Amino acid sequence: MHKEFNSMNLFQKGRTPAIALAAVLALAACGGAGTPSASEGGDGGGDFHIGVSNTLTNNGWREEMICSINAQAAVSGEVGQLTVNHRDTDAAGQLEDLRNLIAAEVDAIIVNPVSPDAVNAALAEAAAADIPVISVDQAVTDPDAYLISNDQEEYAYLGASWLFETLGGEGDVVYMRGFAGHPADDDRHVGWQRALEEYPDINVVHEVHTGWDQATGVQQINDFLATGTNYDGIWTSGIDNVIVDALIEADAELVPIVGADNAGFVQQLLEVEGLVGAAVTNPASVGGAGVTLAIQLLNGETPAEKAVLMEPQLWANNTDEGMASLEEANDPDIDPTWPLGISIPDWTTYTKDQILACEGP
């Protein structure tokens, strides 16, 4: 079972890679274990040493991203060492992690940035040391950095447009955002606002930042329900299945809801009676794609553009086409917090078993 997605801004090489996203289904998330706060890989047989900086843990999307990086580095045959800094920290902590990677003389850095510009000083230091930097998932403003990411603005626009149209162009909606100040959240807000401008009769009655934390989101929706405020729809930034569970537990109305292609939410869209909703794809496997981009750069393959964006798709359970996509992607055995697209043809070459093993070189 495979889903094909399109992307924008392709690389200029001898051949043009077809950047498509396959929704290859997994059975568990990295064996169910979280990745360590910092890890040092062994000798993978290649020449390159790649460093990784990530600032959010206990999050299914980020855990899959790290596993994708580990798996692609291991199978590439060109990465001998992988140093992963994977911990909950702020801009100061990420600056420290990045400078430690520079001091370790890594050949390239993959970063999921804490903000668009807060770590630019370290990125400039990397450029001065001739260390290419690849930002995954979220953009940075540093002009020397490369980007390989999902199109976060379009992600929000697709989901919001579907929600507003499903409500008939009018009504009260709850807007549950991600982590305040993060580039992906900022980009999604631009897409949300673009959709909102097209539907002037939509009223946002509640807006919160969940921090992409499920427990926080559940508390926030329960607090909102306790106010008795009317609501006709809910847009969530990737913490969808627990919001559905909270509505059911509170015996609240199941209004139309938007989430991501997380396994738990996809299963709910197929199985929860009375639930109308849509999942927007947001693959964490851009992490592994970042490894491939790093290797291309280290081998002297210069991209035509600084940014590659994966184009999202929307799977809604109120259309035949959407139901077919949901049924094709669904796997009740996968960790509910993992997105269902775990590989990107021409960008990742690991198998399903290898990403689940989550082992780097």
Domain that holds residue 181: 152-280
Q: pLDDT-derived band of residue 48, with 50, 70 and 90 as boundaries?
A: very high
Q: How many helices (H) and strands (E) does the chain have?
A: 11, 14
For the chain, what is the domain count? 2
Q: What value, to the nearest 5°, has the Cα angle with vertex 14 and ends 11 and 17?
A: 45
Q: What is the pLDDT of residue 287?
A: 97
φ, ψ (nearest 5 deg) of residue 265: -70, -40
Indicate whether 261 and 227 sit together in one domain. Answer: yes
204 is a domain residue: yes
Task: Tell me the C-alpha to C-alpha distance, in Å, between residue 271 and each of 262, 277, 321, 326, 332.
Answer: 14, 12, 17, 11, 11
Pairwise CA distance, residues 330 & 322, whole Å? 12
Give tens-digit pLDDT for 113-135. 998 999 999 999 999 999 999 99
Indicate whether 78 and 108 sit together in one domain. Answer: yes
322 is a domain residue: no
Indicate whether 190 and 239 sit together in one domain. Answer: yes
Indicate whether 88 and 198 sit together in one domain. Answer: no
The pair of structure tokens assigned to 144 is 């020397």
Indicate whether 60 and 140 sit together in one domain. Answer: yes
User: Which domain-ending residue is among 239, 262, 280?
Assistant: 280
DSSP 44: -
Say which residues have a Cβ less than 8 Å from residue 303's Cβ, sequence separation at least 6.
11, 12, 146, 293, 296, 297
pLDDT at residue 27 is higher than 80: no
316 is a domain residue: no
Q: pLDDT-derived band of residue 331, with 50, 70 and 90 as boundaries?
A: confident
pLDDT at residue 182 is higher than 90: no
318 is a domain residue: no
320 is a domain residue: no
Indicate whether 192 and 338 sit together in one domain. Answer: no
Instruction: Tell whether pTM > 0.75.
Output: yes
- What is the arithmetic mean of pLDDT over 244-268? 96
Element (H, E) at 98: helix 91-103
